[in-house]
Structure 1
Amino acid sequence: MPPKADTSDTLARHSAKMAKKKAARDKIMAKKDGEKGLIIVHTGSGKGKSSSGFGMILRCIAHEMPCAVVQFIKGAWETGERSLITEHFGDLCQFYAMGEGFTWETQDRERDIAAAQAGWEKAKELIRNPEIRMVLLDEINIALRYDYLSLDDMLTFLRDEKPPLTHVVLTGRNAAEPLIDAADLVSEMTLVKHPFRSGIKGQPGVEF
């Protein structure tokens, strides 16, 4: 059965409600004229942390804003986003795959630490460059969780050396509380359902 057509009174009430909401929203937005380079954290057990970070990178590319990606764990993988960016947008986005896979794959802590530290040195170089407007540190939270990197050193660097208008995005589950406290924007992806639990492997276009 098709829905009933709205009456003129219903449409009028809706228009008045939306007009009131718009006026309130416009009043709020009129006070928001500041600009700042943000520290952005995507964490949580759910899927979408890296995907969201790469979505922001693509927005930067669309706005012709120079940006960069440093991958701390998945560097050994050939991913769709890596291929797209390096093959088509390398002039706007620098891409560094510094990781060698998850720690259970390498089974070599010293090698993992060396790769993470090399990634962080490259990240600092990129962040210091004021021409680069956003730097995505993909899966850095995992490197921090395993103590491959010093959280205190990283927070000090972001506080003291990040240019004022540079955005830094840090992804990975189990983000440390001090990082969450220092961040301007934090999103937590919550796991509700995942096909991996039903025996379905990661698939191109969804996972990588």
Structure 2
Amino acid sequence: MSDDSDRHAAKMAKKKAAREKIMATKTDEKGLVIVHTGKGKGKSSAAFGMIFRCIAHEMPCAVVQFIKGGMGTGERELIQSHFADICQFHTMGEGFTWETQNRDRDIEMARAAWDKAKDLIRDPEIRMVLLDEINIALRYDYLDVDEVVEFLATEKPEMTHVVLTGRNANDALIEAADLVTEMELVKHPFRAGIKAQIGVEY
């Protein structure tokens, strides 16, 4: 091998040893509270990636959509048509407030979605529950963030993962979470006049 190759191999061996030492200390398992937030695209997409991982591992899971209404999406159609036996899918919203223009109705629907979410989370057989766009419902005070945080802290089974998506995650929720990812918007085709497209947004 060349001197460069020797140096690279030695450097990688040192990194591997350091990594293995760190990994040896990571032995605990627990159900995580995971938050995907930020202005960038990909919050729900990343969360559905985890749902599909659960499906692949035959882990029962569930989705509750808080805001999205009747418009079909690829992930919903795929899950309901092929994986309904292992992943429950509940679309509980009727669209954004500027579409419904009825705050009382929005609150009613958000409460119904949260009640469904609590039932699913309490079920110890369900290993992951995705609360899609719940952060929007919390932002508009359709739900009480303290109630949500308290429930996750006291009633979520020990090994159940809960994923909460949507912009502007509440600080109390971020503080309570185990894993928080903020999607940063760098560039988006919408600003160039390009509409949401099948296979990308839905």
Letter in 1 for 2:176: A
Unpaired stretches in structure 1, ≥5 consecutive residues: 1-6
Deviation at 1:77, TM superposition (A): 1.7
Q: Equivalences for 1:27-176 in 2 at 5 Å?
A: 27-176=21-170
Which of 176, 180, 185 is 2:174 aligned to?
180
Unpaired stretches in structure 2, ≥5 consecutive residues: none
Letter in 2 for 1:118: A
* Larger gyration radius, structure 1 or structure 2: 1
Moved over 2 A (4+): none
Letter in 1 for 2:63: V
Contact 1:77 1:101 in 2 (8 A): no
Distance 2:61 2:2 in 1: 51
Match of 2:189 in 1: 195
Identity of aligned residues (%): 74
In the alignment, structure 1 residue 21 sits paired with structure 2 residue 25: no
SS of structure 2 residue aligned to 1:76: coil
TM-score, scaled to structure 2 = 0.99
Q: Deviations over 1:8-32 (max 9, x none)?
A: 1111111110000000000000111
Distance 1:134 1:180 in 2: 18
Letter in 2 for 1:75: G
Letter in 2 for 1:134: M
Letter in 1 for 2:18: A
Over aligned residue pairs, what C-alpha RMSD do you find?
0.7
TM-score, scaled to structure 1 = 0.96
SS of structure 2 residue aligned to 1:53: helix
Letter in 1 for 2:7: R
Distance 1:130 1:50 in 2: 24
Letter in 1 for 2:80: T
Distance 1:75 1:33 in 2: 41
Distance 1:80 1:142 in 2: 21
Q: Deviations over 1:153-202 (max 9, x none)?
A: 11111111000000000000000001000000000000000000000000
Contact 1:116 1:149 in 2 (8 A): yes
Q: Deviations over 1:18-48 (max 9, x none)?
A: 0000000000001111000000000000000
Aligned length: 202
Match of 1:3 in 2: none
